[in-house]
A and B are shown apart, each in its own frame.
Chain A
Amino acid sequence: MENMANRINTLFQKKKEKILSVFFTAGFPKLEDTIPIAVELEKSGADLIEIGIPFSDPIADGPVIQDSNKIALDNGMNLKLLLQQVKEIRKTVKLPILLMGYINPVMQYGIESFIKDSKAAGVDGFILPDLPMAEYEDQFKVLVEENELVNVFLISPTTSEERIRKIDGVSNGFIYAVSSSSTTGTKTGFTNEQELYFKKLSEMKLKNPFLIGFGVSNKETFTAVTKFATGAIIGSAFIKLLKSSSNLSTDIHDFVNNLN
């Protein structure tokens, strides 16, 4: 077993640039695909894996991820099954794994069980976009930190500097910087205004590194944002690939390798 440091913190200590985090929905396109997708991502050279917990009403997501949520739920995916799959993934995969999802399925599973069972399965952290910071501090923080897990908060271009500092203070892994005011997968490419925002973030000298997500879909956009950020997150573009893929192994390999 590795030393007790969280895999996410270890990653950011070792690698200071061009970190690639890939998001996909658990149980999509087929129920059991979660496992081979994670395995292929590691083989292909991704640095971080974000697995989406499907939800019936994903309000921050655009059509591509909505569709993957629906298909995953129709396939019978749920949190209990996902944690079993993570255990399976952990038999070979060493990459840090984050679970990303809306708060309601987590609440129904039970907050304490969710945190402990995630730890036991080999999860390294969470991204829960509709969890208010105050509630995180009340009900999650102690358990998350005791279990040496990481919680990732989002910031957006409309987040005030004061609030960014506050989020930086509560964060213990990295910050998820959303590139534009939008739902996932709705925009691609970046404007000058967005680049100024990325630049401002990088000049804020936050204690946590930040990864940029939303609008990152290919080599060009990946290169553009990793000039400012430690890395980037790709979601919708990868989900699109999975949906149309007839050979997950080759397609994932090509997708990841075309980014660098």
Chain B
Amino acid sequence: MSIYQVNEKGFYGQFGGAYIPEMLHPNIEELRLNYLKIINEPDFKTEFDQLLRDFVGRPTPLYFAKRLSERYKAKVYLKREDLCHTGAHKINNTIGQILVAKRLGKQKIIAETGAGQHGVATATVCALMGMECIVYMGQLDIDRQRPNVERMRILGAKVVPATSGNMTLKDATNEAMRHWINHPTDTHYIIGSVVGPHPYPDMVARFQSVISEEIKHQLSMEIGNPFPDYVIACVGGGSNAAGAFYHFLNDEHVNLVGVEAAGKGVNSGESAATTALGKIGVLHGSKSLLMQTEDGQVIEPYSISAGLDYPGIGPMHAHLFETGRVKFLSVTDDEAMNAGIELSRTEGIIPAIETAHAIAALQQMELDADDVVVINLSGRGDKDLETYIRWGKY
């Protein structure tokens, strides 16, 4: 077994595990005992693959970005997850999890959301499957991501404001976990990233791994070789990065680059660069790197991108950071916004601001003309128009 994958105890190196109160134990245990069996069943695979193809629109293109390549003097490819139905990679995971939930006999779905992308992806698959859907969202995020709130409501989901703590993603996750504690038998919790107690990080990574599976196949067709020199992805909790890295983890000659949000600067006090600022700790059921005070209180992160302002990273990424398998860079708000405008004008693609962080990382890299670079274009910028407008420098 790969040293980069989860072990039989639910750990990636020293990170991971299931740090949950007893009330959640039966749910997590049910999932742990069944998830691999379910997702390896032929009828599951058939249904999952068919929905990814016909409903999500997979495979997503691997697009050679000619003008961006000229600018950075390398061969830059964009993996177009922004073309997935609902506008981001998030739906790969929600399709997978709702099929698992159905097979576990669950009737109701809960989810947390920050910017609303995972909430919309969850509301979408619940509509598709006719299941009741409740999405927890921080009150502050509800106020600043209105269009996504309305999208969820149009899709029939109930959006519940999380009014505890700082009223953002971390608090929405707390509320979703509390809801699950109070409704343990009929409800499945669709976590949106590679975070949470084991087996969530592994399960979500597996559903997102279709991204790197396709990249390998598409690169083989395009350049006659499945291995790029670099794969770059942004990291909040880390689900799109987990998917983009997954099938390259053992190909050590492929350089993997995770890009975190530095906010107003890594040391500005307003940042979400977890690998730079975090220490080992436990939040939302797993041990990972965590932004926290000396006393172990979780620090509220900041980024202009609502999808990256999470105080931790998935345990798999903490392990990849610690082992040096993935190199982590960080990008400020301004650098990301500029990169978003740059991609819009060189390639005609307005990226999500999360994704713009991955584009901005190109400036920090020393590339050779024949280097093949794949950037995971995890989401589109429609949801971020307000932020682009407010930023204004275009």
Contact = CB atoms under 8 A, between A and B. Distances in A.
A and B interact = yes
Contacts of A102: 282
Contacts of B174: 57-59
A154 B20 CA distance: 11
Given A109-B296, A131-B19, A178-B23, A56 B181 contact: no
B23 A181 contact: yes
Given A57-B165, A158-B26, A186 B182 contact: yes
A58 B170 CA distance: 11
A104 B21 contact: no
Given A132-B17, A186-B182, A105 B25 contact: no
B295 A181 contact: no
A162 to B, nearest CB: 11
B114 to A, nearest CB: 15
Contacts of B54: none
A159 to B, nearest CB: 6
Interface string A127-153: 001111011000000000000000001
Interface in A53-88: 55-63, 66, 70, 73, 78-80
A183 interface: yes
Contacts of A39: none
A155 interface: yes
A182 B295 contact: no
A159 B26 CA distance: 7
Contact of B181 (A55, A60, A70, A135): A60
Contacts of B22: 129, 153-156, 159, 178
Nearest to A55: B297
Given A56-B297, A182-B182, A107 B282 contact: yes
B178 A59 contact: yes
Interface residues of A, number: 42
Contacts of B177: 59
A108 B295 contact: yes
Interface string A171-198: 0000000100111001000000000000
A103 B182 CA distance: 21
Interface in B266-300: 279-285, 290, 292, 294-298
A160 interface: yes
B147 interface: no
B344 interface: no
Contacts of B183: 181
A158 B20 CA distance: 14
Contacts of A154: 21-23
A80 B295 CA distance: 9
A19 B21 CA distance: 24
A79 B293 CA distance: 12
B184 A130 contact: no
A186 B285 CA distance: 21
Contacts of B18: 132
Contacts of B50: none
B107 interface: no
B164 interface: yes
A129 B181 CA distance: 13
B200 to A, nearest CB: 14
B295 to A, nearest CB: 4
Interface in B61-87: none
23 contacts: A55-B296, A57-B170, A57-B283, A57-B298, A59-B177, A63-B164, A70-B165, A73-B297, A102-B282, A104-B292, A108-B294, A108-B295, A109-B295, A129-B22, A130-B19, A130-B20, A132-B20, A153-B22, A156-B22, A156-B23, A156-B25, A163-B25, A183-B23
Interface of B: 9, 17-23, 25-26, 164-165, 170, 174, 177-178, 181-185, 279-285, 290, 292, 294-298
Nearest 5 pairs of A and B residues by beta carbon: A108-B296, A105-B296, A154-B22, A60-B21, A78-B295
Given A78-B295, A132-B20, 18 more contacts: A55-B296, A55-B297, A56-B297, A57-B174, A59-B21, A59-B284, A61-B178, A130-B19, A130-B21, A130-B282, A132-B17, A153-B22, A154-B21, A156-B23, A158-B184, A159-B25, A163-B25, A181-B183
